[in-house]
Amino acid sequence: MTLDHPAFAPYRQLIDALDLVRAMPTLAQLNTLASARGITQANGLPLRFVAASSHLSARDYETSILQSGQVPTRADTWHDVMNAVVWLRFPRFKAALNAAHGEAIGFEMDSTRGRRRDALTMLDESGVWVMSRAPALHALLVEHAWQALFWEQRHAVETAMQFVVVGHALLEKLLAPYPAITGKCLMLVTDALDPDAVEPQAAAALSTIHSPCPLAPLPVQGVPGWDTANANAAYYANQAIFRPARINPPSVATRLRPPTPAPSPDHQTSEYPLT
């Protein structure tokens, strides 16, 4: 297990304050930080981490937070500890997620989770903010144009994009990373690549999410620098991980690639399908 992965960079201060390298925190430690930071949930109630019941449903979990400010937490599991860490780091976003869950539950006719809550759950568990000044880079991600995005446009990704993991299950997986780890993207077009400045925008964007469809998949180890092996172009050729889109329009990828030189008049050519 390691907390050195680049995805933990936004959480470094909390990791140090809780001494997570040494041991899991207690509920008391988590609550001390929540109190010191003045963290509240969507209804303005102070946020508190409490021992979780083993039979708590997803609906009851969200309702507990919304009605009481109490976050059921198993402090002996990294899954719940990472959830607490995200609450402490990005409370406005987590509060907005919880409020959106509560609103969606109000429209459900039975205990079956609807499409909106499916999407909210994906973001809560595996969400990644993909912040960029260049919408064309977002488009490459949506198109699964992995080689074009992460290799051909590598410098642009490194300078004009920022990836912030906010899904607690995804953070748990990154304690022992492997190439196939996949997140779900919340796309945010912004000039500010500072997560603190973008958090209100991310929270507001949840009102536009009504199904999982807009949440593009992201093999997070493909982000430049997040796996030392991805410094080689061949890394992105593994289609078991970097899967092509079912429908992959070539428009953006084609625009960003250098034009192919025209053949000389006496040069015989063959036509090949674009891939």
| 175/191 Cα distance (integer angstroms) | 30
pLDDT at 247: 59
What is the tens place of the pLDDT at every residue in 61-70?
999 999 999 9
How far the first Cα of the chain sits from its last, in Å, is: 39
Task: Report the DSSP pairing between strands 182-189 and 127-132.
Answer: parallel
The answer, yes or no, to whether residue 248 has pLDDT greater than 90, is: no
Kindly state the percentage of the chain with pLDDT values over 90: 81
pLDDT at 273: 28
pLDDT at 102: 92
Contact 87, 71 (CB under 8 A): yes
pLDDT at 67: 95
What is the tens place of the pLDDT at every residue in 5-30?
999 999 999 999 999 999 999 999 99
DSSP string of 124-141, one letter each residue: HHHEEEEEES-HHHHHHH
| 268/34 Cα distance (integer angstroms) | 70
pLDDT at 222: 98
What is the tens place of the pLDDT at every residue in 90-115?
999 999 999 999 999 888 777 778 89
pLDDT at 181: 97
What is the pTM (predicted TM-score) of this model? 0.88
The answer, yes or no, to whether residue 260 has pLDDT greater than 50, is: no
pLDDT at 264: 39
> 91-107 and 195-205 are packed helices; what angle lies between their axes, rounded to 10 degrees?
10
pLDDT at 271: 26
